[in-house]
Amino acid sequence: MTRIALYPGSFDPPTRGHSDLVTRSLALADQVIVAVARNSAKQPLFTLEERMEMLRAVCGDDPRVRYESFDGLLVDFARREGATLIVRGLRAVSDFEYEFQMAMMNRHLMADLETVFLVPPEDATWLSSSLVREVARHGGDVTGLVHPAVAEALRRKFGR
Ligand code: PNS
C-alpha cells in the first residue's frame, strides 16, 4: 500500500525550514503532497501560483513529491487524495497550542488521519515566513533563510 502524507501550509513564502521538512517527510511516506492552502485565513503576500512556483524551485524535482493547492477543509482534501498522514513542523513551545488544536480538530473530523510533528534543523527553529516577509519588506538581508529564488521573488515583490 502506498503511504501518502500531506504537508499543508501557507508557504508565504517557503523558507529553508519548509524544504527541510519536505525532505524529512519522505522518510515517513512513499509520497508527499505539499498542499498549499488557497484560502487561508491570512491575506497572503504571494499569489497561490507564485507560492507553488517557489516551492517547486525550493524543493526540487523528486518523483515522490507533488505540489497541489486545496480549498476548504484539509480533511476533505486528504480523503480525496487517499492521504493517511499530516505532517507539520513544530519549532518551539509557542507553536504547540495552535498545532495541537489543529491536530485535534482534524482528528475529530477524520479519525484515521494521523498528524505527526517534525522538528526543523536547530538553526531554523526561530525562522518563520512572517519574519522573512517583514525583514524583506524593510530591505533586510534574507540570504541563507530562504532559497535564492525566493529571495529574488521577495525583492521583486517589494520593488527592490
Ligand atoms: O502555514 P499555516 O498558515 O500555519 O497553515 C495552516 C493550514 C493551511 C494548514 C490550516 O489553516 C488549514 O489546514 N486550513 C484548511 C482549513 C481547515 O481544514 N481548517 C480546519 C483545521 S483546524
Q: Which domains does the chain have, with CATH numbers?
A: 4-157 (3.40.50.620)
What spacing in Å lies between the alpha carbon of 48 and ligand 1's midpoint?
15
Q: Which atom of ligand 1 is nearest to the CA of 37?
A: 8
What angle separates helix 129-137 from helix 148-157, to the nearest 10 degrees? 50
Give CA separation, 81 vs 68, 70, 85, 99, 105, in Å.
10, 11, 11, 22, 19
Q: Identify whether the C-beta of residue 33 lies closer than 8 Å to the C-beta of residue 60.
A: no
Active-site residue identified among 24, 56, 69, 91: 91
Query: Per residue in 14-60, pLDDT tens?
Result: 999 999 999 999 999 999 999 999 976 789 999 999 999 999 999 98
Query: Per residue in 145-159, pLDDT tens?
Result: 999 999 999 999 998
* Residue 42 known to be catalytic: yes
Q: Identify whether the C-beta of residue 88 lies closer than 8 Å to the C-beta of residue 18.
A: no
- Produce one character per residue of 113-146: b if its CB has 16 or more CB atoms within 10 Å, e if not: bebebbebeeebeebbbeebbeebeeeeebeebb
